[in-house]
Structure 1
Amino acid sequence: MKARVHVMLKDGVLDPQGEAVRHALGSLGFEGVEGVRQGKVIEIDLADTDAEAARATVTEMCEKLLANTVIESYSVELG
């Protein structure tokens, strides 16, 4: 089973990479971009075939390693 984890900075946390991208887009002539938030996507191949068990395993991975839950939020997709 495949899992996809989306990790983003929480609202209110400064995103210097996103701001650099916003500035670069403006320099390239893309007008009207008022904000950019940059995150990461992590794809994991799991041996689990049970969706509930897989979701629990990936959630534990996120809580322990993949996301800094103090400043980041995450979502899990299974497929």
Structure 2
Amino acid sequence: MHCLSVALDVLTLIGEIMTVRVVDADVFDSLAADFVDRNDEGAVVPERYRFMEQGVRGPLDAGMVAPAGAGCLELAWPWREHLLPA
């Protein structure tokens, strides 16, 4: 688990601790098997995006990620070599 930043949402004035957790893909698939595909915030994107430039830029540029999630992706990307196992 890594802390990326502490931020203040300018629309809601709610503080956020922006974090990232690196999980093996197979472990995540096992844990996520029972996740819902929709909640009050919207639908979950069914595709898997790799943590590579197009996998990060594509959803961000398409506006598919909520602001806090987008902030986490933007902050995590420059640190990718430190976040991902060798």
TM exceeding 0.5: no
The structure with higher relative contact order (CA 8 Å, sep 6+) is: 1
Computing the radius of gyration from Cα coordinates, the structure with the larger value is 1
- Higher share in helix: 2
- Higher share in strand: 1
TM-score normalised to structure 1 length:
0.29
